[in-house]
Amino acid sequence: MTRSVEVIYDGEVFRPQEPLDLEPNTRHLIIIGSEPSTGAPVTVPRAIGRILARAKPLGIPDLAEQHDHYLHGTPKR
C-alpha cells in the first residue's frame, strides 16, 4: 500500500502533519520529494506506479550489469 503524507523535517526527524495508523518501531520506506511551489501534492507514488505497471520481465538475468551491451551494443565486460 502506498499513500502520500505531508511531513515537516525538523532537522532530526520527519513529523507527519496528520495522524498515521502505523505500528511504532516498524520499518517503512519513505520517498522524499519537495512540495511544488503551486502547493499541489507531490505525486511520486503515482508516477512510480505508472512505471511499475509498464515494466516487463525480459528474461535477461544480467541486464543491470550489462546495460551498455544490451542498449548500445558495446562488448560485454
Check the CA dihedral 35-12-18-44 and report its sign: positive
Stretch 16-24: mean pLDDT: 89
What confidence category does residue 63 fall into, taking pLDDT thresholds of 50, 70 and 90?
confident
45-55 pLDDT tens trace: 677 878 878 88
List of residues 6+ apart from 20 with CB closer than 8 A: 5
Check the CA dihedral 17-34-42-45 and report its sign: negative
**Residues 6 and 36: beta-carbon distance below 8 Å:** no
Stretch 9-20: mean pLDDT: 89
Radius of gyration in angstroms for the set of CA atoms belonging to the chain, rounded to a whole number: 19
